[in-house]
Amino acid sequence: MRILLTAALVAAGVLVGAAVPAVSGFVRGLLAAAGLPPALHTFAAGPGPASPGEPRHEAGGGHDHGKAAAPKAGAGHAHGAHEPSEAEGAEGHVTMTAEQIENQDIKVAKAEGGLLSRHILVPGTITPDTDRIARVPVRVVGTVSEMRKRLGDDVRKGDVVAVLDSREVADAKSEYLTAMVQSDLQKVNFERQQRLLASAAASQAAFDNAKAVFQENQLRVDLARQKLSALGLNAAEVAAAQKRDEATPNASTLRQYELRAPISGRIVERKVDVGTAVGKEGDPADVYTVADLSTVWIELAVPTSDLDEVREGARVTVNRGGRSVQGKVVFVSPLLNADTRSARVVVSLPNQDMAWRPGTYVTAEVETETDRVPVRVAKAALQTVEGKRVVFVRTDEGFEKREVELGRADDDAYEVVSGLKAGEDIAVANTFLLKAELGKSEAGHEH
């Protein structure tokens, strides 16, 4: 009786499984309850889909359990399969036209050798170059009668910037001019006595006396000239001014003392006004300050931990507002500040456009070491693909992925030890676009 029941269940399972594949699981349960072996479960279940986690067996499979079914002829690509785009090529290559490269703003440049520079960042303050700043001093006692330059005016070395009225100057000029007149008179007398002595018309004593007086007046002239020089006056100019004064008695320059710019630059400070008394103790010692700001200094305070790496002559870069200016270290103090334990370092910085104003705070990049390498590649040219550093080398069809070995580095670039030669064209900007295209290409090949 049990055999007949089993046969009926099998027959019913086959018919139901063929007609309604979705109930095959239910049939298997009935057969299992009847104690039939698993082979009959599969047979009774029919050609419907296998249960999750169970291998699919084709009828007559025999020993082919677990093998993948061969694709049917003419089946084509499965739904959703990747179709390579025009910008994709063989494995490791990205096919791109020159127009596509230009449209995506992918910059190409030759790989070249160069310098790798390491630096430290140090805060500093812009100050005037002390070798290019000067005051217009007052050397005599007097009163300011003219101020010929205004604050901010440009001046050249030797330009008259102010005029003083000074009795001290008038006395010095008068002494020199008087000595010159006396010297001329005594010279004439000496030459006359010399001729008379030669003709025996004068005694030796008269000649000796005339000679002594002449030499004494020459000494007075020399002393008066030195006094003018000490006041910053030129004896020849004083004599020439005296002759002009004789032609124009109402425009005497005897008391005038001209103050001249000691250097070329710009008036950055004015100390006095017209009518101010100067020269005496307690009076202003100078009238103007002139500064040449075409070169400025950066005063740095370098800590002892970095001091050994800083050398005089080292390059220094300062960035501000999108522009970069390079200077150099001109002085490293051998003394340390007792409070900050740092040393004063002075950097000379060009300032032709006057963009760097004294008093401005900046951060300077002080170069500490440089290395020349045969192949130097900017960091923007490098990408990481499958954990390896690569560059994209330009080819006739587009770009080729090239694995490279890197060596030393600085803030902007790496040394390439192997994988790339100097002179090869590589992508140096927007290389992430090439990495993305390469990923799509390789995904397409996997399908």
Is residue 386 over pLDDT 70? yes
Identity of the amino acid at 402: R
pTM, entire model: 0.56
Is residue 3 over pLDDT 50? no
Residue 364's Cβ-count burial label (10 Å; 0-12, 13-18, 19+) is buried
pLDDT at site 201: 74
pLDDT, average across residues 72-79: 38
Is residue 266 over pLDDT 90? yes
Q: Give CATH for domain 118-130+292-369.
A: 2.40.30.170
Selected from 3.40.50.150, 1.10.3720.10, 2.40.50.100, 2.40.160.40, the CATH number assigned to the domain covering 132-289 reads: 2.40.50.100
Residue showing tokens 């390469």: 438
| Structural contact between residues 418 and 403, judged by C-beta atoms closer than 8 angstroms | no
- Distances from the Cα of 192 to the Cα of 183, 186, 188, 214, angstroms: 14, 10, 6, 12
Is residue 417 over pLDDT 50? yes
pLDDT, average across residues 135-149: 93
Is residue 80 over pLDDT 70? no
- The 10s digit of each residue's pLDDT in 12-21 is 444 444 444 4
CATH 2.40.50.100 residue ranges in the chain? 132-289
- The 10s digit of each residue's pLDDT in 215-249 is 888 888 889 889 888 888 888 888 888 777 776 76
Confidence band for 381, pLDDT divided at 50, 70 and 90: very high
pLDDT at site 446: 55
Determine the angle formed by the axes of helices 167-198 and 235-247, rounding to 10 degrees: 90
pLDDT at site 166: 92
